[in-house]
């Protein structure tokens, strides 16, 4: 009898351990790169935005139709002159250090974005003059001038709220121990290895958080990422290769989620900061010749199995702001050669072609190299680690740069920071007074017809002078185990964790 009681006790203990193990769920996400700093004010990478989605809520978010919806804010109202935006905040919200989120905290976060040394949010909020506190849960954003993309900016890192207490204590080291108001709380980060989060028990929307821990694992090799997903080492991976789609769909244990991205893949051409003074920087005709040498649809078919969308503007052809008056030009090698001759350039034209490391970007670069060679260009591919490539772009240490932009919901977010002469990510160092005016004026009105007319002027200037050759728009390809329920891909490419469940 005594032995029987011991066996029963052990069985009960074993069952309790099993139940505990089943209750503790961990979502393992494979990333294509290691993010930069986990500080929403200082961060600038797409992969970082994927991680932020788990722990840094924003004032506003978007839905799958690109409508702006409340998150930490409840509502917003813009004054008749467009210079004041009053935002009501969600009550009962806490930061992950237990501090309350209120108007004081919102004011602090917005001002930090605006004034902190090295802030990449400053140009996104450049129109903001100051923030007034109306009451404990209401702030008024007072603008220098009307700024139509403002609420759209607040759906991304400019709208992320950080704990004032933690930010003041950590200073510029805040990214090492970030504290926000999202569903998961930062635990640890080991560079190039893992980033770990655990469920925040006081999250305002905790009833829709079902997974206990999230671990992000940077795995640069896409083949290894997919192999880990297939073997059960990962639950979800981002940036599946287009060439792997059939393999994913053929696996009964996997599911593919897809959406067309908001951004673009383009070739930025160094015009104003080319120390070598190469032909690309000296003549628009040479830049136009390079553009005409590229067959965008052939590139899409060869490298991406036709899964992506060829393009020639900073927004895709299915976007409401796309300028149909300027369709994609057909490849014309003979005209490209004629333009080189008119520019007084003798082939082969040697070009330093900086390409971020990665199988798809490298494959695309090789096809572009081959196409361009037929028109007289010698595109010398220089494969570079992504973060390093950004630094070299800022320093002007390139002539052509294959650069992807993940995209924003407002067309301003895909154009201004790269094309305005005073913008921080104008790596081309292109300067055009007419383009600057069109970009500035488009920020002053919310009327779509007026904005579209201004962007039409801008499109004409850009396609004539070619500071950036827009090539294609990627499909956002996310693969995950069928054990993961509730996943839905949004066009901004982020991995949202609210509502997800693991069987």
Distance CA 319, CA 324 (A): 10
| Size of the chain in residues | 503
Number of C-beta neighbours around residue 384 at 10 A:
20
CATH 3.40.190.10 for domain 26-33+182-256+476-502, yes or no, is yes
Q: So what's the pLDDT on residue 60? A: 98
Facing residues of 282 across strands? none
Provide the pLDDT confidence category of residue 483 given band limits of 50, 70 and 90.
Answer: very high
Provide the pLDDT confidence category of residue 23 given band limits of 50, 70 and 90.
Answer: low
> Which fold would CATH assign to domain 57-168?
Dipeptide-binding Protein; domain 1 (3.90.76)
- Average of pLDDT values for 126-133? 96
pLDDT digits (tens, 9 = 90+) for 331-360: 999 999 999 999 999 999 999 999 999 899
Q: For the chain, which residues make up each domain, given as ranges?
A: 26-33+182-256+476-502, 57-168, 264-473
Q: What is the CATH number of domain 264-473?
A: 3.10.105.10
Q: So what's the pLDDT on residue 131? A: 98
- What are the start-end ranges of the E strands in 104-160? 128-135, 138-143
SS3 479: strand
Residue 352: φ, ψ to 5°: -80, 110
68 contacts 130 by C-beta, under 8 angstroms: no
pLDDT at 5 exceeding the cut of 90: no
Q: So what's the pLDDT on residue 64? A: 85
Structure tokens at 298: 């052939």
The DSSP string of 69-106 is EESSEEEEEE-TTS-EEEEEEPTT-B-TTSPBPSHHHH
Q: What percent of the chain has pLDDT over 90?
A: 91
Distance CA 82, CA 59 (A): 19
- Average of pLDDT values for 377-386? 96
Tell me if domain 26-33+182-256+476-502 and domain 57-168 are identical in fold. Answer: no
Q: Report CA 256 to chain centroid distance, whole Å.
A: 20
HSE-CB for 58 with a 13 A CA cutoff: 23
Q: What percent of the chain has pLDDT over 70?
A: 95
């Amino acid at each position: 009898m005594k032995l029987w009681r011991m066996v029963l006790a052990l069985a009960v203990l074993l069952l309790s351990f099993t139940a505990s193990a089943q209750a503790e769920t961990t979502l393992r996400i494979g990333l294509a790169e290691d993010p930069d700093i986990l500080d929403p004010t200082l961060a600038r990478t797409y992969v970082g935005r994927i991680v932020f989605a788990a722990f840094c809520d924003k004032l506003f978010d978007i839905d799958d139709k690109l409508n702006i919806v409340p998150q930490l804010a409840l509502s917003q109202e813009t004054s008749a002159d467009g210079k004041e935006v009053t935002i009501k905040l969600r009550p009962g919200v806490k930061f992950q250090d237990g501090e309350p989120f209120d108007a004081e905290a919102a004011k602090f976060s917005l001002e930090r974005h605006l004034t902190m040394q090295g802030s990449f949010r400053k140009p996104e909020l450049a129109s903001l003059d100051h923030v007034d506190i109306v009451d404990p849960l209401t702030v008024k954003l007072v603008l220098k001038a009307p700024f139509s993309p403002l609420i759209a900016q607040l759906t991304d890192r400019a709208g992320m709220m950080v704990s004032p207490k933690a930010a003041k204590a950590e200073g510029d080291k805040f990214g090492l121990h970030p504290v926000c108001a999202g569903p998961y709380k930062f635990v640890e980060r080991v560079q190039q290895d893992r980033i770990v989060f655990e469920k925040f028990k006081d999250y305002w929307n905790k009833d829709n958080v079902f997974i206990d821990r999230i671990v992000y694992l940077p795995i640069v090799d896409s083949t290894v990422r997919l192999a880990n997903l297939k073997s059960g080492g990962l639950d979800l991976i981002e940036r599946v290769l287009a060439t792997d789609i059939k393999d994913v769909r053929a696996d009964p244990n996997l599911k593919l989620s897809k959406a067309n991205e908001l951004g673009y893949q383009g070739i930025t051409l160094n015009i104003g900061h080319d120390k070598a003074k190469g032909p690309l920087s000296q003549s628009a005709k040479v830049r136009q010749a390079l553009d005409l040498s590229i067959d965008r649809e052939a590139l899409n078919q060869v490298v991406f199995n036709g899964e992506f969308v060829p393009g020639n503007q900073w927004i895709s052809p299915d976007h409401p702001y796309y300028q149909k008056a300027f369709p994609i030009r057909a490849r014309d090698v003979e005209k490209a050669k004629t333009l080189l001759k008119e520019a007084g350039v003798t082939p082969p034209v040697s070009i330093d072609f900086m390409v971020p490391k990665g199988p798809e970007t490298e494959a695309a670069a090789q096809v572009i190299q081959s196409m361009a060679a037929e028109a007289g260009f010698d595109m010398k591919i220089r494969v570079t680690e992504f973060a390093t490539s950004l630094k070299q772009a800022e320093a002007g240490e390139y002539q052509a740069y294959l650069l992807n932009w993940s995209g924003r919901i407002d067309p301003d977010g895909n154009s201004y920071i790269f094309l305005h002469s005073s913008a921080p990510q104008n790596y081309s160092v292109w300067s055009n007074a007419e383009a600057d005016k069109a970009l500035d004026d488009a920020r002053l009105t919310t009327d779509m017809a007026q904005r579209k007319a201004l962007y039409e002027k801008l499109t004409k200037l850009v396609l004539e002078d070619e500071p950036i050759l827009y090539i294609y728009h990627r499909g956002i390809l996310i693969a995950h185990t069928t054990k993961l329920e509730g996943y839905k891909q949004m066009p901004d490419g982020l991995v949202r964790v609210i509502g997800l469940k693991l069987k």
